[in-house]
């Protein structure tokens, strides 16, 4: 299932970068597209506004079929303070823009991609796909001047023989 997680992250990262190329962040001195997987970063990495943070949550495995069907919960967290130049009064618009970017990236067709194994160099294509449902949004949380949003996507894959 790690291959499916990696594949979904890379796909979503590339789609978000295509939707809004200027949404970037600096991680240890390097500019990257504005999406990161929390568990893949240093534990000391602080939370940044105006970027997407991906967190893997639930996991279900259905072993009835020829290949085990894996369903994984994916939580995407993001927040904004608005822009300082506008006194933060545009924070609602900026949050809405992030929601729009996420919908455009996650709900764009096709909602599937060939599973890749990135643990080898170069990455190799695997025999099955990764696919996912539409994005579902939770309630917006107001934390002082910051607006916080959590969105959820369910991601599916088949567990191939010998795959961890």
Partner 1 sequence: MADLVMSAVAMRRAADVLLHGVGGRVVMLRMPATASAGDVTEQLGLAVPQFQDVELAPVVLERGSATGRTMLVSANAVNALVGSMGYSAVSVLFADAFGVLVDGVLMEVESVAETELGGAAAIYRLSLRVPVALQA
CB of 68 to partner 1, least distance (A): 22
Judged by beta carbon, residue 30 or residue 63, the one nearer partner 1 is: 30
Shortest Å, Cβ 117 to partner 1: 11
Number of chain residues interacting with partner 1 (CB under 8 A): 23
3-state helix, strand, coil in the chain (%, to 5): 25, 40, 35
Euclidean distance between CA atoms 109 and 132, whole angstroms: 11
Handedness of CA 122, 128, 133, 139 (dihedral sign): negative
Question: Are 137 and 151 spatial neighbours (Cβ–Cβ below 8 Å)?
Answer: yes
- Please identify which residue in 39, 62, 134, 145 interacts with partner 1, judged by CB under 8 A: 39
Q: Which of 1, 17, 36, 151 binds partner 1 (CB under 8 A)?
A: 36
If one asks whether residue 42 binds partner 1 (CB under 8 A), the answer comes out as yes
- Whole-angstrom distance, CA of residue 118 vs CA of residue 120: 5
User: Which positions lie near partner 1, rule CB under 8 A?
Assistant: 6, 9-10, 13, 27-32, 36-37, 39-44, 46, 118-119, 121, 123
């Amino acid at each position: 299932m790690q291959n499916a997680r990696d594949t979904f992250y890379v796909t979503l990262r590339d789609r978000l970068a295509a939707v809004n190329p200027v949404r970037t962040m600096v991680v240890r001195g390097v500019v990257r597209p504005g999406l990161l997987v929390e568990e893949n970063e240093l534990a000391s990495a602080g939370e940044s506004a105006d970027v997407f943070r991906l967190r893997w949550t639930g996991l279900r495995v259905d072993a009835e079929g020829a290949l085990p069907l894996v369903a994984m919960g994916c939580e995407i967290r993001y927040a904004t303070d608005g822009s300082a130049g506008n006194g933060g009064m545009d924070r609602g618009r900026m949050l809405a823009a992030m929601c729009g970017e996420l919908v455009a990236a996650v709900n764009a067709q096709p909602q599937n991609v060939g599973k890749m194994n990135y643990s080898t160099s170069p990455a190799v294509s695997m025999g099955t796909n990764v696919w996912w449902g539409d994005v579902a949004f939770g309630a917006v949380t107001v934390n002082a001047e910051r607006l916080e949003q959590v969105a959820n996507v369910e991601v599916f894959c088949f567990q191939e023989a010998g795959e961890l």
